[in-house]
Structure 1
């Protein structure tokens, strides 16, 4: 056993609006000898996700905020390089929540062993086979209760979750799937690669008008990753009995100005709106995993990853993701 140095990112101050380099600091942490039951993991991939912006704020939420002057957490996968626990020998591939560092060390109970699947990058356990895939599946099946023949609208459709939502909706019987994204390149990918029937660039303005063109007969389901003007447009486009699965509010994450319109339609059209976080649904992971592994094996799911290299670039990868620089899942490769 030996000591080693871990490069880690810590929250130095709580941001107002968009996070900047002044809000974080990169530090070198000397790790001690392993205690009994501890393991040391060299991370291979880290996940950067929108919910992390909320954890930079102080106050009540569905997950505890990051503490100042402590290393930020998040999903990661890596390989055990030293072990004092027989259940996780050296060489074991594991997943954990000790992200934002290149070397993680903790009791074995904080790590979950993963299978080594030939031909599958471990990064997929952070995306298609991980949180983005199960979030998309859960929102559609457990929250929006998708039905065969539904018209589904997805905002933030070119992100990690959005690219999964469109494909899963189609596999579950949706008749029409439409999406919004922030560049013409992303819009083209949605229709050429990800199975969307129509898509539009929300930065061109008039989201409601563009949605009306994309879904002229109205929508049954709205999978919301954005909030704000997108939610207003969806509320105006719903058929009777429409369902909203609220996964995120990216457009409002750095602002408190919600400005939602068309809310009267919630009553007059009998709409159901339900927000969700995955903490209450992870018991469904085996059901999701069986479905997703089957679809992958049959070649029915495609995916993109936007990968930044090196722990030094973790914060830049995060801010890039928050500004829509990614296509598919945003990941840091260590």
Structure 2
């Protein structure tokens, strides 16, 4: 029987600091909404897995002007958005997406959603791998890592590279691409625990440094002795500032994320800006949606090929899947900012 209503988490108020999950000042509000009737070439999706990404925090930030954001913000009263959700088609008027098909699509924090069929990418199975990897290594995380390294910064075998957030969804794939696909001469990861660092090294990093260690600054100086050509930055903040002092002349910084500042009311400034000038550094920000559908598909193909050649490891330890009751969706999302996940963080709706 086709459902007629769906639960939704909507934005109740825009947070200026860390989002508030419970209580009268909560950032999100749980609602029930009617499901609209399907039009032509539309599908009704049942959301199975929600993608959790640090960039979602920017979409609800009142301090970022809409014209300075790379996508439309989530406004108060709107369903919280999620890129790369995994969903099942439960009703369809589409010629290409039948009932039962699994898709990867942008959805909201909801049980069901009606979307144009053209906005849902059908998941074509790769061997016996779980479909969740199309939200991670073969999805937005892997495409972001590949696009940043290959298209934006053009990393190659002559480069030594430092990757911050190396145990995260994007960083963990970037480590593998840099070392195993591009053949970078040295790959240095940065992560938040010794256990995460060991995991990053198992992916191919020559060394991974725990930024919470008392000796981190000296360890980083030692690991980057002779300096490095590329910094793939997923965190911003103090690590970015420090890395500006560890770059070779004409080094390249690719700015992917700034999770260190997303929940901060007093964002860290850059103290080592002279190094950008004196070392003639290039700093390039990017957003993966600029890749476009054709390039996106080509990158997914390259990642699948990398997996089949044994250069990209696709395993359960590359994703953190949290079984979650619908009322606890915001709590699982907040694990992003508490260092409680390794690789891609996914919410499995119970």
For residue 68 of structure 1, the aligned residue among 61, 76, 101 is: 76
SS in 1 for 2:273: coil
For residue 309 of structure 1, the aligned residue among 285, 298, 323 is: 323
The number of residues matched between the two structures is: 333
Greater Cα offset, 113-122 or 135-144? 113-122
Supply the distance in 2 between the matched residues of 1:290 and 1:117 (Cα, whole angstroms). 11
SS in 2 for 1:146: coil
Supply the distance in 1 between the matched residues of 2:192 and 2:205 (Cα, whole angstroms). 15
Supply the distance in 2 between the matched residues of 1:17 and 1:121 (Cα, whole angstroms). 36
Cα distance, 1:113 vs structure 2: 2.1
Supply the distance in 2 between the matched residues of 1:234 and 1:271 (Cα, whole angstroms). 11
Unaligned runs of 5+ in 1: none
For residue 27 of structure 1, the aligned residue among 17, 26, 31 is: 31
Give yes or no for contact 1:211–1:233 (8 Å, CA) kept in 2.
Answer: no
Residue in structure 1 matched with residue 197 of structure 2 by the alignment: 187
Residue in structure 2 matched with residue 217 of structure 1 by the alignment: 226
For residue 319 of structure 1, the aligned residue among 334, 337, 345 is: 334
Residue in structure 2 matched with residue 50 of structure 1 by the alignment: 54
For residue 273 of structure 2, the aligned residue among 256, 263, 268 is: 263
Supply the distance in 1 between the matched residues of 2:214 and 2:267 (Cα, whole angstroms). 18
Give yes or no for contact 1:317–1:332 (8 Å, CA) kept in 2.
Answer: yes
CA offsets per residue over residues 99-129 of structure 1, 9 Å max, x none? 3112222332332222133412111111100
CA offsets per residue over residues 189-218 of structure 1, 9 Å max, x none? 111x21111111111246442211222221
Unaligned runs of 5+ in 2: none
What is the Cα-based RMSD across aligned positions, in Å?
1.7
Supply the distance in 2 between the matched residues of 1:262 and 1:113 (Cα, whole angstroms). 46
1:284 and 2:295 matched? yes
1:298 and 2:304 matched? no
Give yes or no for contact 1:223–1:247 (8 Å, CA) kept in 2.
Answer: yes
Residue in structure 2 matched with residue 102 of structure 1 by the alignment: 111
SS in 2 for 1:308: strand
Please give the TM-score of this superposition, normalised by the length of structure 2. 0.90
Residue in structure 1 matched with residue 18 of structure 2 by the alignment: 18
Supply the distance in 1 between the matched residues of 2:290 and 2:305 (Cα, whole angstroms). 24
Cα distance, 1:288 vs structure 2: 1.3
